[in-house]
Amino acid sequence: MLNNLIDISLKYKILVITLFIAIAAFGIKSYNEIPIDAFPDITPKQVVIYTESPGNSAEDIEKLLTFPIESALSGMAGVKMIMSNSFFGLSYVSVFFEDDMDIYFLRQLVSERLSGVDIPNGWGKPVLGPNTTGLGQVFWYEIKDSTNSYSPREIREMQNYVVTPLFKSVSGVEEVIGWGGDEKQYNVLIDTKKLQNIDATYDDVVNAIQKSNQAAGGQYLEFNREQYLIRGTGLYSSLDDIRNSVVKSIDGQSVTIRDVATVETGSAPRFGAVSIDGSEAVMGMVLQRTATNAAQVVDLIKEKIETVNAALPKGVTIETIYDRTQMTHKAVNTISTALLSGVVLVTIVLFLFLFEFRSAFIVIISLPLSLLIAFLLMDYYNLSANLMSLSGLAIAVGMIVDGTIVIVENSFRKLHDNPDEPRLKVIADSAKEVAVPVTFAVLIIAAVFIPLLSLDGLAGKLYTPMALNIVFVMLGSLAVALILVPVLALLLLKPSTSGENALMKSIKKTYTPMLIFALENAKKLLIAVSIIFFVLAYSLTQQGREFMPELNEESIMYRVISIPGTGLEQSTQTASKIEKHILKNYPNEVESVLSMVGRSEKGETAQANYMEVLLTLKPNIKNLEALTHKMNNDLSKSFEYVKFVPTQPIAMRIEELLEGVKAELAVKIYGDDQKILDSIANSIQNKLKDIDGLDGMEVETQLGQAQIQIKPNYLALARYGISVDEVMNVIRNGIGEEAISEKIEGIRRFPIVAKIKNAKDDIESIKNVTMRAQSGALVTLDQICDITVKHGASFIKRENLSRYMVLSMEVENRDIASFVEEANQIIKESVTIPNGYYIGWAGDFKNMQEATQKLMIIIPITLILIILLLYTAFNSISKAFLILLNVPFGLIGGIIALVVSGIYLSVSAIIGFLAIFAIAILNGIVLVSFIDELREKFPHVELKVLLKDASLLRLRPVLMTAFTTLFGILPLLYASGVGSEIQYPLSVVITGGIISSTLLTLLILPSTYLLFYNKKH
């Protein structure tokens, strides 16, 4: 089949060239059109349902909102997991689905289910979260008033009614979220004492407002053959309208709102604030819709800014705070620079080795062509150009040319050896000769990366594009090598006069004695290498592990956490202090500081004790790492009373996607009663305190929110003739400021709130809130309710319908698996866990463990597949094993590099090992197949001599493939831009692996071959 292919391509050479020109053209087109992003879309298939329920406590929200929603959604097809968080004012339910389901379909399913959920009146309405990815916040801006003539409230109004609609009209924008400032509402401040005077109740006042604010349509009147529409326009148009609403009428005298209340413009209670450089500000975030191109969306937004600025009052403008594309461009730049320099380096290497322009040209041309084929495939499979997918290409750069090198080298040699035979036949023969090993080698390389495709979750999403792209580009290179290269060789190659260049000669000079020595001491060497391998393999298990290397986004960001129950004003003050502190102490490094306190409007799960501080750095900071370190220490020293967690914008979003457990290792304790959960967590904490290897432990405090509980006293209520409903209305509307009506001003709507005057001065004032019963009795809340201050839940987290609490741990200098085993034993022995409560292990460790378990199955399967491929190629099991033996040779170098550089074993490093796997096999195939060929040709030559000659003859292609791979990967090793750290472990491993693999292939493989086949000979 392969032979036919080669024959046909050689026959229709013009067609082949045209075909590849066309492929190149389409490839360039794809290259230009591929969406660019920093990361692959790592968001799990997830639908978020949030229900705003202002003023309500975590416990009630869990009972009345979260639980019904969760139960309605459980049991849906494709649901992997349901997680929820209930806290003050919000229920947040997140449903995770299998990854292969369509998000729009899922959203529809969820909506259908939600319509059946029974939620008590007045407790809110479940809403689907925006259809965006975890990294969907592509553009942040501040609405800046340079004239200082607008209040934060007015600016917020601009955000809600000018900026949001305009940005929302941009294609690809799912949602625009406003944050900061305060929102306007109309306060009707009721003096309850005055209710006695006019003989009315609180409900009367509320009714009065609700009934006065009405509009109606009265159909039409025909008058003189024309139609006149009839309209009742009773909606409030001014504050005086509210004031003049009639509460009741006594003897023809009307008592109006004015008599019992003052009406004023005020601000709604808020749950978040934004502070920039020490003063409060208003900002917005644009969310990108799922499966849109971030770069494009941001470009469109930027175009829109002009329109928005024109729509805003003079002096008020949109200022960019954060623009994802900057980071994207940086990341893509890093990797494309690496890719480009890889190409250049590989070209140089090729030229140095071949020392012949024509053959070098053929090999080099195969590089861009394979890459363009990969781009074509990426476009076809909707893969975006991002850090991971492009690095797949960068890793493969050196391997792309391998197939071509082998074919060109063979043709070159054959042309040199057989100058008299017809060119076509020589080229065809030499191509056919190596076609099988080349094809199998490429297939094996592709096969090696298959396990990556099986990875689940975050790792899978991150590394699948990389693996896919390697496969794409290898397939591309195979097509180029088998179809185009023979044609080009036929057209371009010339028998060269001198087969060897100076470089090769000198290399051979050193190599020959080494090879002879190796062949003489085959057995000893093999044993020595095996011992080294096992020692190193053991040391690898002792190596620290991490799931993913940290991405350097070249920015500094902090999550700042205060104690639970911290008030928003306190947090905002803290934010302002932190900002001023940073600006004062780092004037040369920091341009601006932004703090986002609490949560914005659309279903975020942060509370007022939480804030995110983002630093905008000045350009040209030399040592970001040192600065970060210094700042971390300085800040946690200067602001002892809060906790700083350094992070970065994208990393933070990724952490949020992982939902909940971000620690390396954590125990999740499941059960009903938070207090019991808390005590179990504490007792586990106590018992594990002294376990070996434990570096730190933290219980996530879910309790700790002080609550003023107002429990109706039914007897007392009966005495005065007040219903619970009335009391709850007063709590909800009068104290809790829930809107009772809306004042509509054009398209803008502002809540009208019937607040009780001075109700929220302190705890005493709540107790003294006065109610008037229908009968006239005047009572304070204290008289009809039991008012106590208690500690309640700050938030309640649930997973698959069960409450849980997290105890996170850090383990150092110890293998986590054994730690977990010991800890489990201790917990089993000394912690009493009541019925209905159970624990489970979670954390990065679990992800890693799951990934490892999966790999434990996939890797052997892959191995079998590779052996099968090798067997098919060589038709011999022992040769397949002989080639596989090369793998440990490569791993030796990889492990040494990893251990020496002190890098943790991560998924990235594992990918490096996979690449070595491929390279080692490739090296083995090239050599073994050649030895076989020679043995066939010269069956009578002594094996040792034959091996020596074969190795010497094969030295050039082996070195060339090794060096191209090495130099292809080198730019990744030395890259320093955004995203480079993810590739670093991988490139370290590959670099080490290539060196050892090449050396050992050249020395040990011939000797092993000798051991295997000496007897048979």
Note whether 676 binds other proteins by CB under 8 A. Answer: no
Which of 262, 585, 713, 780 is close enough to bind other proteins by CB under 8 A?
780
Note whether 417 binds other proteins by CB under 8 A. Answer: no
Which of 340, 706, 868, 900 is close enough to bind other proteins by CB under 8 A?
706
Number of residues that this document lists for the chain: 1017
Beta carbon of residue 708, minimum distance to other proteins (angstroms, whole number)? 10
Nearer to other proteins, 183 or 612 (CB): 612
Q: How far apart are CA 33 and CA 450, in angstroms?
A: 27
Which of 559, 630, 687, 760 is close enough to bind other proteins by CB under 8 A?
559
At a CB cut-off of 8 Å and minimum separation 6, what does 922 contact? Answer: 399, 402, 441, 444, 445, 961
At a CB cut-off of 8 Å and minimum separation 6, what does 399 contact? Answer: 445, 474, 477, 918, 919, 922, 961, 964, 965, 968
Note whether 698 binds other proteins by CB under 8 A. Answer: yes
Q: At what angle do helices 886-901 and 877-884 cross, to 10 degrees?
A: 10
Note whether 345 binds other proteins by CB under 8 A. Answer: no
| Long-range contact pairs involving 598-601 (C-beta distance under 8 Å, separation at least 24) | 598/270, 598/271, 598/272, 598/273, 598/568, 598/571, 599/90, 599/271, 599/272, 600/177, 600/178, 600/179, 600/272, 600/285, 601/177, 601/178, 601/179
Note whether 370 binds other proteins by CB under 8 A. Answer: no
Which of 114, 308, 473, 806 is close enough to bind other proteins by CB under 8 A?
806
Note whether 275 binds other proteins by CB under 8 A. Answer: no
Q: How far apart are CA 518 and CA 516, in angstroms?
A: 5
Note whether 27 binds other proteins by CB under 8 A. Answer: no
Beta carbon of residue 548, minimum distance to other proteins (angstroms, whole number)? 17
Strands 79-87 and 90-97: antiparallel
Note whether 695 binds other proteins by CB under 8 A. Answer: yes
Region near other proteins per CB under 8 A, out of 206-214, 233-241, 370-378, 633-641:
633-641
Nearer to other proteins, 340 or 708 (CB): 708
Which of 790, 937, 940, 1016 is close enough to bind other proteins by CB under 8 A?
790
Note whether 458 binds other proteins by CB under 8 A. Answer: no
Report which secondary-structure segment, H or E, holds 681: helix 674-688
Site string for other proteins, 501-540 (x = CB under 8 A): ----------------------------------------
Note whether 98 binds other proteins by CB under 8 A. Answer: no
Tell me how many residues contact other proteins (CB under 8 A).
60
Buried b (16+ CB within 10 A) or exposed e, 730-750: bbbbbbbbbbbbbbeeeeeeb
Which DSSP string do the residues of 943-1002 spell out, in sequence order? HHHHHHHHHHHHHHHHHHHHHHHHHHHHHHHH--STTHHHHHHHHHHHHHHHHHHHHHHH
Nearer to other proteins, 660 or 893 (CB): 660
Note whether 840 binds other proteins by CB under 8 A. Answer: no
Site string for other proteins, 637-656 (x = CB under 8 A): xxxxxxx-x----------x
Beta carbon of residue 180, minimum distance to other proteins (angstroms, whole number)? 18
φ, ψ of residue 142 to 5 degrees: the values are -115, 140
Note whether 561 binds other proteins by CB under 8 A. Answer: yes
Note whether 81 binds other proteins by CB under 8 A. Answer: no
Which of 91, 133, 566, 965 is close enough to bind other proteins by CB under 8 A?
566
Q: Which of 931, 969, 964 is nearest to 947 (CA)?
A: 931
Q: Which of 318, 322, 321 is nearest to 145 (CA)?
A: 318
Q: With 0-12 CB in 10 A as exposed, 13-18 as middle and 19+ as buried, what is 972?
A: buried
Region near other proteins per CB under 8 A, out of 221-229, 240-248, 495-503, 700-708:
700-708
> Binders of other proteins among 718-757, rule CB under 8 A?
720
Note whether 660 binds other proteins by CB under 8 A. Answer: yes
At a CB cut-off of 8 Å and minimum separation 6, what does 520 contact? Answer: none
Site string for other proteins, 152-191 (x = CB under 8 A): ----------------------------------------
Which DSSP string do the residues of 253-296 spell out, in sequence order? EEEEHHHHEEEEEEE---SEEEEETTEEEEEEEEEEETTS-HHH
Region near other proteins per CB under 8 A, out of 114-122, 220-228, 426-434, 634-642:
634-642
Beta carbon of residue 1016, minimum distance to other proteins (angstroms, whole number)? 58
Note whether 812 binds other proteins by CB under 8 A. Answer: yes
Which of 13, 144, 194, 760 is close enough to bind other proteins by CB under 8 A?
194
> Binders of other proteins among 592-631, rule CB under 8 A?
605-607, 609-610
Region near other proteins per CB under 8 A, out of 182-190, 313-321, 657-665, 871-879:
657-665
Q: Which of 506, 784, 544, 785 is nearest to 664 (CA)?
A: 544
At a CB cut-off of 8 Å and minimum separation 6, what does 975 contact? Answer: 334, 335, 337, 338, 983, 984
Quickly tell me which residue has 């009572």 as its tokens: 779
Q: Which residues bind other proteins (CB under 8 A)?
A: 85, 193-194, 196-197, 559, 561-564, 566, 570, 577, 605-607, 609-610, 633, 636-643, 645, 656, 659-663, 695-696, 698-701, 704, 706, 720, 762, 764, 768, 775-780, 782-783, 789-791, 806, 808, 812
